Structure 1
Amino acid sequence: MQRGKIAFGKINLNLNKAVEKKEDNETDTEKATTSTGGFRKIDKQQMQKQIEEVADDLEAQKLKEVMGLTGFGRKTAKIFDINEQIAKAKESAPVRVETEEKENNSEDEDVIGPMPTMAGDDKIADNNKKKVEKPKGDDEEDDDDDEEDEDDEEDMNLEKRIPDTHEVQMQHGNKAILALAGDPAGARLVSGSIDYEISFWDFAGMDSSMRSFRTIQPCENYPIRALHYSITGDMILVISGNSQAKILDRDGFEKMECVKGDPYLTDMSRTKGHVAQLTSGCWHPYTKEEFLTAAMDGTLRIWKGIKNKEQHTVIKTRAQGGLRTNAGCCIYNRDATLIAAGCLDGSIQTWDTRKMFVNTTHCVRDAHQKGSEVTSIQFSYMGQQLATRSNDETMKLWDLRNFKKPIHTWSNLFSRYDTTDCCFSPDDRLLVTGESLPKGQTHANLYFYNTQTFEEVKRIPVTDSHIIKTLWHPKLNQLFVGCGNGVIKCYYDEQRSLRGAKLCVVKTYRKKKHTEVVGVSQIITPHALPMFRQEKSRSSRKKMEKERMDPVKSHRPDLPITSGQGGRVASSGGTLSSYVIRNLGLSKRVDDDQDPREAILKYAKEAAENPYWIAPAYKQTQPKPVFSVPTEGSEEGEPDNKKAKKE
C-alpha cells in the first residue's frame, strides 16, 4: 500500500487581525448608524470566514503555550505601558533590597570581627535608602528615633568595643620581641625577637600551656626586625639585620633569599640588591609574589616573583637639599596605589605606583622632629587616613586629602625601640599604640585613642617591661602585644572575639606518660635441654675472679718475649744486625768506675814501639821530635800577642 508524503505547511500568525477586526466592527457600526430602519441581508460566506479565523487564532495560541514560543512569522514592535512598569518596580524594589541584605548577612557570617567599609558603599547605601523610602508614619518615625539613640550609645560605648575582658600569655623567650604577624585566616601567629629566633604558634594545635610548635633561626646571628604574611597566608617575609630578605613557607622552610648588592658601587640603582641592613618590608595587598623592602642604603626596592631573585624597581629617598636619607619603615595602602615611607630624618614620603618613582606624590619634611626616626607608618582600612609613630615621643594622624599638617598629635608616648608601631582598629574608629617603660613607673600602658574626637578612650597596663609591637587582628577581633621581656600578651572578648586564643584556653594540658619497656625478657622453660640452659648466677666475687682470669675480659696486656715468636721480633738478637751490634757493644763496653787517664796511658808503650799515625810521616824528615822551649818569664801555652810588652 502506497502512502503519500507528509508535508508541513508554513504556519503564520497574523497579529494584525485584531486591529483589522476592530476596524471592521467600526465600519459596521457606522453603516448601522447611517442606514435607516429595516432588515439587512446576512452574508454567509463572510460569517464562515470569521468563524475560521477565530478557530485558527485559538489553535495558534494553544500551540504557542505548548511550545513556549512568543510568536510566529514576522516580529512586531512591542508596546509597553510605562505607568504599569513603574508600579511594578515600586512593588518589587523593597523586596529586592531585603533579599540583598539577607544575602549580605549570610555572606558576612564567615567574616570575623568588624570589617572595613569601602568608599563606594556609603553611596550605594544612600541610593538604596532612597529607593526603599516610603511615606513615613508615626511608627516608622519612632523606629528611626530608636536607631539614632542606638547609634549614640555605640559612640558612647567605644570602650566596650575593645576586646580586653580576658588575657592569655605566650612566652617567646627572654629577649625583646621586635616582630609580630598573623596570617589572614587567623589560624597562626609568628613572632621574631632580638635573640635571632622565629616562633610559630598554631591556635588549633595549642593547649592551655600556649607553647609554640616550632622555633627556627633563619638568619643566623641577625635580629628579626619585621615579619609579614602574604595575602594568601602561604608565605612569610622575613626582614632581619642582614641585607638580604628571606621568604619562608608556612612551616618555616626557606623558599627564597634576595640577592645582595655590590657595596663598591655608589649608584644604588645599579646594584642588584640592598647593600646595607634592612629596616622594614611588606607584601603587596593583592599581588601574590610581590613585596617591598627598605634598607639603610637609602632605597626602597620592589621585588616581583620568587624565581627572579633580582629587584624590579628601585626607589630612592631624599632628604632636604637632595641628600640621601634612609627609610625606617614602609607600607602599601589598601588598594596598592601608594607607597609610603617614614625616614630617619623625620620626613614622610609617598609615591604613586601608577607613575614613575622619580618624584614623590606627597612629601612632608617636618612631619616629626628633625633627626628623630619614624618607627611606624600605617594606612587606615578606608585608605583616607595615615598614622605615624616616632621616637620623638609622639604619634600623629594625617588626612591624605590635606597632607600638609596632621589632624592631631598625641605626645608623651615614650619610645625606646626603633620598631615601636601603632595600628588602627578594624572599623577605623580607634588608634592603638604602646609605650616603652618610663623611669619611675612599674607598668607600661597600651593606649586607645578615638580617631574622630582624638580623646583617650582607654589605657591598659600590660607588663613591667616595654611595649613594642601591637596587632589587632580584624578576623579574630583579638589584640596581640609584643613586650620587651619576650612575652606576648593576647587580649580577647568572650562574646565579640572568635577562635584564636579562645580555642587554646579550653584545652587542658596533659602530661605525657613515660612507659618503661623491658628490653630483654627472661623466658623460663623447665623442660629445655641442658645445652640451652642458662648458668645460675653466682656471687659477684666469684664472678669477678673468673673474669679476672680471662685475658680477654680483663684486657690483660701482652707478656714480654725473649725471642721472636708469633710474628713478632725480639728487642735484640732477632736479626743479624742486632746480634752484631749487641756483641760489639758487649766486647768494647767501658766500665763507669774506670779512670780515663789510666785507660789512655796503657796504650802509650804500644804507641811508642809500634807507631801508626804520626811517627811514620816524620820518620825521614824529622826522626826526632822537636818541641818548643819555653823562655824565662813567659807562661807556657800563652800566645805572643797575649804576652805583656816589656819596656
Structure 2
Amino acid sequence: MSKKPISFGKISFNLKKDADTNKNDEQTASGFGTFGRTPIQEQKEIEEIAEDLENQHVQQVMGIKNFGKKAKNFNIEEMMEQARKTASEVNKRKLEIEDSKKAVETEEVHESDDEDLIGPPLPPGLFQGAPSETDKVREVDKNKEDESDEDSYDELSGSDDEELSLEKRIPNTHEVEMQHGTKAVVALAVDPSGARLATGSIDYDVSFWDFAGMDSSLRSFRTLQPCENHPIKALQYSATGDSILVVSGSAQAKVLDRDGFEVLECVKGDQYITDMARTKGHTASLNSGCWHPHIREEFMTCAQDGTLRLWVTENPKQHKAVIKPRQQGGLKTSPTSCVFSRDGNTVACGCYDGSIQMWDHRRNFVNTTLVLRDAHQKQSEISSVAYSYLGSFIASRGNDDTLKLWDLRNFKKPLKVFDNLFSRYEQTDCSFSPDDSMVFTGESLQKGQDVGRLLFYNTKTYEPVMHLDVTKSHVIKCIWHAKLNQIFVGCGNGVVKCYYDQKRSLRGAKLCIVKIHRKKHSVEVVSSQQIITPHALPLFRQEKLRTSKKKMEKDRLDPVKSRRPDLPITSGQGGRVAASGSTLSSFVIRNLGLSKRVDDEQDPREAILKYAKEAEENPFWVAPAYKKTQPETIFQYNESEDGPSDAKKQKQS
C-alpha cells in the first residue's frame, strides 16, 4: 500500500524513494509543491530562469530591462569549416579563370588559322543567358586594372626610385639663381616645411626668402644685420620652423623668429676666468651651432674658447651644459663644427686637432662615447660632420682637401677617402641624400679652374655619380631638402642656386618661377567738376620740383633757409659801422665828440702835408719844442747831385 505524499500547494514531500520522476511530475501538479529534492532540470532552463529573475529585478529598481545586447557566442569549428570552404571555392575560381584564358588564346589562334570563315564571328554567349568565360576574364582584368590605378601613386612615389639610376635621382633638370649680395654665402637654412630660405654671408647680412610670396624676380622680402659687424657663420631653423639660430663671429648666439625679429641673445662669458665651466657663456668667437632634432627649446654652439655649450631658449642667461673636447695629451682643443645625431641621442664635433669626438646626450658630458684621433690632418679645420638619415654612417669634410665616409659600427678606419677636394672656407659642408644612397660636397676653385663644382658619390660602391658645374666661384654650402626634393647651393660670389626636377620636385622654387613680376599702374581719375583749392591759385602755389637736387639748389640761394652768415665788410658804405667809420679807430674817434669828420679813404701822407704851410707860418706843435735847443734846422744834403740819391754810401774801390 503506497503512502500519499504530504503536499502544501506546489511544494510536496515524496516519501517513496524509488518512485519514477514522471509520477512525481503528475503528483506535484496540485497543491503547494513538494518537500525534498527538486527535480533536476537542464542547464539551459536554469540559466534562462536566472536571467529572467535578474531582468525583473533590474526593471523594478532602475526601470530598464537590461544593459544592452547579449554577447554573441561563436562556434570556432563552424567558422573554420566555413573558411576552408571559401578557400577551396576561390582556388576553383582561379583555376577556371586560367583555363578560360587558355581557351580564349587557342580560339584566337584557330580564328587566325581558319581562312574559310567569312564574316565576323558570332559573339560568345549570344544564345545563352549567362555571360561567357571570356566576359568573366575581362571583368577580372578590369578589376585588376582598377586595383593597380589605386596603387599608382604609391608606385610612383616608391618603386620608381628603385628603378631610376642614381644620376637620375638628383634633381637637376632646372635651376634658379638668387642674388644675396657680392660676398661669399657661407650659411644656408631651409625650414622643415620648405616654405622659407635664409642665407647668411660674410658681409654681415641675413636675407629671408619666401617661396610662396616671391615672383620671378626672386628678391628676398627682408635683409638685416642681426649681429652688427660680425660675419654670419651658421644658420639653422628649429625642428618646428618657428625660430632660426644665428651663429656669427661674436661670442653670443642669437635666436630670431620667422620674420627676423630677435627673440633672445645668449650671454657672454667672463674672459678672465680660466675654467670655462665656471663662466655662463662663450668668451671667444663662435664657429658653428645647431638645434636639437626633437627638443624644440634646446640648441648647441661651439666656439674658439674650446667648449661646446648646450642652451635652452627659456634661460639664455646661462648655459645648460658645457662640453670640453680634449687633445691626445689632455690639452684643450677648439671645436670647429658640431652636430646632433638624427635621433638626438649623440653629440658629435670635429676639432682643430683633427679628431672627431662624440658624447651621449642622455648622460653627463665628462667622458666621450666615441673618439677618433687623426680623423683628418692636424691643425686643419674639420668644416662639417654629417650623420646619415638611418644613423649608421657619418661623413666628415676637412680643410685637408678630403671627404671621408665612416661606419659608426667600426669607427676606426674610414670606409672611403675622397681626395683632391680643395676647400678654402671653414664652412664647407657635406651631407647625405634623403635615401642615403649618395654623399655630396662642394669644391672651391683652385688655380687654373674656372667653375666651382658640386660632387656626388655613391655610398655603396664609392664611385663618383656626377658633378654639377654651379658657378664661376667657390661652392661652400649645399642642402638637399628631402620634402621639396630640391638642392640649395651657396657660392662664393654671393649667388644662391636652387636645383629642382620639374616632375619629381614639389613647391619651393617652382612656386615663384611661374609668377610674373608686374609693375603697379597708377589709376588716373578724371573729374568733370573743377575744384579750386587755395593752394591752386598762383599766389599760393608752391613750385613742385621733380628732383631733390634742384630743391636744394633753390634753398641754397635763400639766405633764410640756408642760414647764411653775415657777409664781411668790404667798405664803409652799407656795413654795420658805416655811420661811425669802417674801422675801430674811426669809430672811437667819432665817438669822442670831435666835430670834424675823418675820412678813412684819403691818403695819410696827403692829410699831413695839407697842414705843412700852416705849420711853417704858425708853428704850434713841433717847432716850439726845439726852439731853445735847436734854433736852426739842419738838413742833410747830397754831396754830389749827380750821385745816387740813396742814403747809403757806395763803397769806395
| Interval containing the TM-score (normalised by the shorter chain) | 0.5 to 0.7
Which stretch of structure 1 is more off in the superposition, 274-283 or 446-455?
446-455
TM-superposed deviation, 1:246: 1.3
SS at match of 1:359: coil
Note if 1:376 corresponds to 2:384. yes
Seen in structure 2, the aligned counterparts of structure 1 residues 406 and 90 have a Cα distance that, compared at 3 Å, is farther
What are the equivalent positions in structure 2 for 1:140-539 lying under 5 Å apart? Answer: 154=162, 157-514=165-522, 523=531
Does the CA contact (< 8 Å) of 2:457 and 2:463 recur in 1?
A: yes
Which stretch of structure 1 is more off in the superposition, 593-602 or 210-219?
593-602
Please give the per-residue CA displacement for 1:131-154, whole angstroms capped at 9, x wherever unaligned. Answer: xxxxxxxx9xxx9xxx9xx97982
Distance in 2 (CA, whole Å) between partners of 1:84 and 1:454 is 60
Does the CA contact (< 8 Å) of 1:181 and 1:191 recur in 2?
A: yes
Of 25, 28, 32, 1:43 maps to: 25
Seen in structure 2, the aligned counterparts of structure 1 residues 373 and 585 have a Cα distance that, compared at 3 Å, is farther
Please give the per-residue CA displacement for 1:72-105, whole angstroms capped at 9, x wherever unaligned. Answer: 9xxxxx99999899999999xxxxxxxxxxxxxx
TM-superposed deviation, 1:505: 1.5
Please give the per-residue CA displacement for 1:595-644, whole angstroms capped at 9, x wherever unaligned. Answer: 79989985466458999xxxxxxxxxxxxxxxxxxxxxxxxxxxxxxxxx
Query: TM-score, normalised to structure 2's length?
Result: 0.64
Which residue of 1 is the match for residue 649 of structure 2? none
Query: TM-score, normalised to structure 1's length?
Result: 0.64
Which residue of 1 is the match for residue 594 of structure 2? 583
TM-superposed deviation, 1:312: 2.2
Seen in structure 2, the aligned counterparts of structure 1 residues 517 and 270 have a Cα distance that, compared at 3 Å, is farther
Seen in structure 2, the aligned counterparts of structure 1 residues 533 and 516 have a Cα distance that, compared at 3 Å, is closer
Distance in 2 (CA, whole Å) between partners of 1:89 and 1:201 is 61
SS at match of 1:503: helix
Which residue of 2 is the match for residue 107 of structure 1? none
Which residue of 2 is the match for residue 105 of structure 1? none
Seen in structure 2, the aligned counterparts of structure 1 residues 258 and 577 have a Cα distance that, compared at 3 Å, is same
Does the CA contact (< 8 Å) of 1:572 and 1:582 recur in 2?
A: no
Distance in 2 (CA, whole Å) between partners of 1:291 and 1:508 is 39
TM-superposed deviation, 1:533: 9.4
- In structure 1, list runs of 5 or more residues that go unmatched: 1-30, 73-77, 92-138, 526-531, 538-550, 561-567, 612-647
Of 23, 39, 49, 1:56 maps to: 49
Seen in structure 2, the aligned counterparts of structure 1 residues 508 and 274 have a Cα distance that, compared at 3 Å, is same
TM-superposed deviation, 1:479: 0.8
Please give the per-residue CA displacement for 1:529-549, whole angstroms capped at 9, x wherever unaligned. Answer: xxx9989x9xxxxxxxxxxxx
Seen in structure 2, the aligned counterparts of structure 1 residues 441 and 591 have a Cα distance that, compared at 3 Å, is closer
TM-superposed deviation, 1:572: 3.5
Letter in 1 for 2:67: G
Letter in 2 for 1:44: E
Distance in 2 (CA, whole Å) between partners of 1:449 and 1:515 is 57
Does the CA contact (< 8 Å) of 1:289 and 1:304 recur in 2?
A: yes
TM-superposed deviation, 1:375: 0.5
TM-superposed deviation, 1:300: 1.0
Seen in structure 2, the aligned counterparts of structure 1 residues 517 and 457 have a Cα distance that, compared at 3 Å, is same
Does the CA contact (< 8 Å) of 2:218 and 2:512 recur in 1?
A: yes
Seen in structure 2, the aligned counterparts of structure 1 residues 240 and 578 have a Cα distance that, compared at 3 Å, is same
SS at match of 1:154: helix
Distance in 2 (CA, whole Å) between partners of 1:451 and 1:160 is 16
Structure number with greater CO (CA < 8 Å, separation at least 6) is: 1
Distance in 2 (CA, whole Å) between partners of 1:181 and 1:87 is 63
Distance in 1 (CA, whole Å) between partners of 2:198 and 2:191 is 8
Seen in structure 2, the aligned counterparts of structure 1 residues 340 and 40 have a Cα distance that, compared at 3 Å, is closer
Distance in 2 (CA, whole Å) between partners of 1:420 and 1:358 is 29
Please give the per-residue CA displacement for 1:426-475, whole angstroms capped at 9, x wherever unaligned. Answer: 22222111111233333222222222222222222222211110101121
Distance in 1 (CA, whole Å) between partners of 2:341 and 2:233 is 21
Which residue of 1 is the match for residue 117 of structure 2? none
SS at match of 1:179: strand
Seen in structure 2, the aligned counterparts of structure 1 residues 438 and 604 have a Cα distance that, compared at 3 Å, is closer
SS at match of 2:605: coil
Distance in 2 (CA, whole Å) between partners of 1:399 and 1:180 is 27
User: How many residues end up aligned between the 2 structures?
Assistant: 483
Does the CA contact (< 8 Å) of 1:256 and 1:306 recur in 2?
A: no
- In structure 2, list runs of 5 or more residues that go unmatched: 1-17, 31-38, 59-63, 86-143, 149-154, 542-558, 570-575, 582-586, 630-653
Distance in 2 (CA, whole Å) between partners of 1:89 and 1:278 is 70
Letter in 1 for 2:337: C
Does the CA contact (< 8 Å) of 2:161 and 2:169 recur in 1?
A: no
Letter in 1 for 2:406: W
Distance in 2 (CA, whole Å) between partners of 1:462 and 1:323 is 41
Does the CA contact (< 8 Å) of 2:267 and 2:316 recur in 1?
A: no
SS at match of 2:592: helix
Does the CA contact (< 8 Å) of 2:265 and 2:316 recur in 1?
A: no
Seen in structure 2, the aligned counterparts of structure 1 residues 608 and 303 have a Cα distance that, compared at 3 Å, is same
Seen in structure 2, the aligned counterparts of structure 1 residues 601 and 249 have a Cα distance that, compared at 3 Å, is farther
Seen in structure 2, the aligned counterparts of structure 1 residues 436 and 90 have a Cα distance that, compared at 3 Å, is farther
Distance in 1 (CA, whole Å) between partners of 2:388 and 2:508 is 23
What are the equivalent positions in structure 2 for 1:72-91 lying under 5 Å apart? Answer: none
Distance in 2 (CA, whole Å) between partners of 1:168 and 1:533 is 55
Seen in structure 2, the aligned counterparts of structure 1 residues 476 and 603 have a Cα distance that, compared at 3 Å, is same
Which residue of 2 is the match for residue 68 of structure 1? 67
Does the CA contact (< 8 Å) of 1:342 and 1:374 recur in 2?
A: yes
Distance in 1 (CA, whole Å) between partners of 2:83 and 2:589 is 127
Seen in structure 2, the aligned counterparts of structure 1 residues 281 and 153 have a Cα distance that, compared at 3 Å, is closer
SS at match of 1:43: helix
SS at match of 2:167: helix
CA RMSD of aligned residues (A): 4.7
Distance in 2 (CA, whole Å) between partners of 1:449 and 1:180 is 22
SS at match of 2:329: helix
Distance in 2 (CA, whole Å) between partners of 1:285 and 1:389 is 21
Does the CA contact (< 8 Å) of 1:431 and 1:451 recur in 2?
A: yes
Seen in structure 2, the aligned counterparts of structure 1 residues 275 and 89 have a Cα distance that, compared at 3 Å, is farther
Which residue of 2 is the match for residue 592 of structure 1? 605
Please give the per-residue CA displacement for 1:295-350, whole angstroms capped at 9, x wherever unaligned. Answer: 11111111122443222222222223122221110011122221111111211111
TM-superposed deviation, 1:172: 1.1
TM-superposed deviation, 1:70: 8.3
Which stretch of structure 1 is more off in the superposition, 577-586 or 231-240?
577-586
SS at match of 1:317: coil
Seen in structure 2, the aligned counterparts of structure 1 residues 403 and 584 have a Cα distance that, compared at 3 Å, is farther
Which residue of 2 is the match for residue 636 of structure 1? none
